[in-house]
Amino acid sequence: MTDGQTTDGGGVNASYVGPQTNIAGVTEARVVEALQHDHGQDARLLSWSCHDFTNKGDNYVAAITSVNVNFSKDGRDEEATYVVKIKQNRNSDFDNMVFMKESGFYTQLLPLLNAELTNAGMAPLRIPRCLHSTWHESQSQLFLEDLRPLGFKLYDRRKPLCPRHATLVLQELGRLHAASLLLQSRSPEGDLESRFPFLTWEMFNYSEKIKTAFRVLITGSLHTASLLAEAVEREDMRAWFESLGPRAVEALVQVMGSSPPFDVIGHGDCWINNILFRYDAQGQPVEVMLLDFQLCRKASLAVDLNYFLFSSMAAAERNDKLEDLLATYYAALREVVEAARVTVPFALEEVIAEFYKKTILGLIFGTLAIPALLCEAKEAQEFTVASGEHTHNYVVKKRESVLKMVKNNPLMRPRLMSLYEDVKLYAANT
């Protein structure tokens, strides 16, 4: 910005009104690009400012801000807001991996998935629109649709989802997975992994540094889980988590591997913190939006299902309605696939069996989710990967905080007891 004038990448000069704020490294050229992608090349930027978007504890990787934009079009002054995810300058393999996975999903895959739905006569995925016409790996700012003006808001992460909320999420996961099945059906085997290699990136294969950190994180967190069980006088659970720790990483690697015919493009991190809901006048949830595709992957559909259901619902209510919930998911998937005149490659009964085969993943990530869901905002810790030692220190600090929560947080014990019901049920069937 020079002397109240700017030239964006499209060559449009814009006069400014009021002060310009750039508290998060957002660039003006990118603001104009997002605006014109959203409202057309004749939209003329007048002013813009950044504002904090999330609270501590709401997000654990990317810096997130919102951009308020004033612009003129067709002789009228208008306003728009965008959410901007910014890769933090921490020289972290983990940050680089998840940022490129998410930006690749939004800018490369999402248009293809929505095209499959459109061709089948279905609505686009309930995912924020991406405001980029082009994307380069050198970019560090991902502009997305702001869903707040449409009435979407976060669920209280401290409370398990009720079946009505869960149903909306499962229906949308079904549509996402169905769109990916259609895309795969028109692609040669292995084509998606070749075109979109980020779908194969995981913490256990991206780099040696992340592989080491992943092992430290999983084994250390399960040791924390064993100490929590000991703190609430559950020796059976203490022993189970302690025995799981040394073999947990290998179990996760196996579960997250290829599992035809169930392989789909999945969300990868579908839990309460990455979901928004819109409510009617009576306070009932009527629409869902899925956020944060930083861990998107190609894997069994049961990975998303286990991850979501174990991290976001209480055991008693989930187990009581599990097959109904999975039937709801399957119906949404089948509706999309059959609308495109393609045969679903598996039956509901096979999906249920596949879900049970992957339950160890649900238990592990459900265990890791409890402290993150129940902690106070001031207790939240940012996670990045600098080294195995750094991750060890993160785990130890988290452990100290979590053990205090057993004494100070009244929500902790009931959620642990709910988790232990899951473990007992799993152990009895394996």
5-45 residue pLDDT tens: 222 233 222 223 333 444 457 888 899 999 999 999 999 99
Q: Which of 68, 86, 104 is the endpoint of a domain?
A: 86
244 and 227, same domain (yes or no): yes
Of residues 62 and 427, more confidence is placed in: 427
Total count of domains within the chain = 2
Of residues 118 and 391, more confidence is placed in: 118
Residue 135 included in any domain: no
299 and 393, same domain (yes or no): yes
* Reported pTM: 0.90
Instruction: Compute how many other C-beta atoms are within 10 angstroms of the C-beta atom of residue 248.
Output: 21
Residue 252 included in any domain: yes
Predicted pLDDT of residue 21: 40
Residue 147 included in any domain: no
Average pLDDT on 92-114 reads 94
Task: Return d(Cα 348, Cα 362) in angstroms, integer.
Answer: 19
Q: Which residues pair with 266 in a beta bridge?
A: 297
162 and 79, same domain (yes or no): no
372 and 412, same domain (yes or no): yes
Q: What is the pLDDT of residues 382-425, one digit of tens each?
A: 665 555 678 888 899 999 999 999 999 999 999 999 999 999 99
Of residues 30 and 58, more confidence is placed in: 30
Q: Which of 32, 60, 86 is the endpoint of a domain?
A: 86
Predicted pLDDT of residue 20: 40
Would the pLDDT of 175 be above 70?
yes
Residue 158 included in any domain: yes
Would the pLDDT of 52 be above 80?
no
Q: What is the pLDDT of residues 126-146, one digit of tens each?
A: 999 999 988 887 888 899 999
Predicted pLDDT of residue 46: 97
Q: What is the pLDDT of residues 246-271, one digit of tens each?
A: 999 999 999 999 999 999 999 999 99
Average pLDDT on 357-362 reads 96
37 and 114, same domain (yes or no): no
59 and 173, same domain (yes or no): no
Predicted pLDDT of residue 54: 57
Predicted pLDDT of residue 17: 31
* pLDDT band at 61; cut points 50, 70, 90: low
Residue 144 included in any domain: no
Share of the chain above pLDDT 70, in %: 89
Average pLDDT on 301-322 reads 95
Predicted pLDDT of residue 169: 98
400 and 313, same domain (yes or no): yes
Predicted pLDDT of residue 347: 98
Here the CATH number for the domain that contains residue 412 is: 3.90.1200
Average pLDDT on 167-195 reads 94
Structural domain of 283? 93-125+154-428
87 Cα distance to chain centroid: 16
Would the pLDDT of 350 be above 60?
yes
Average pLDDT on 47-73 reads 77
Q: What is the pLDDT of residues 188-213, one digit of tens each?
A: 887 899 999 999 999 999 999 999 99
Block residue for tokens 């947990």: 248
Would the pLDDT of 57 be above 80?
no
Predicted pLDDT of residue 13: 26
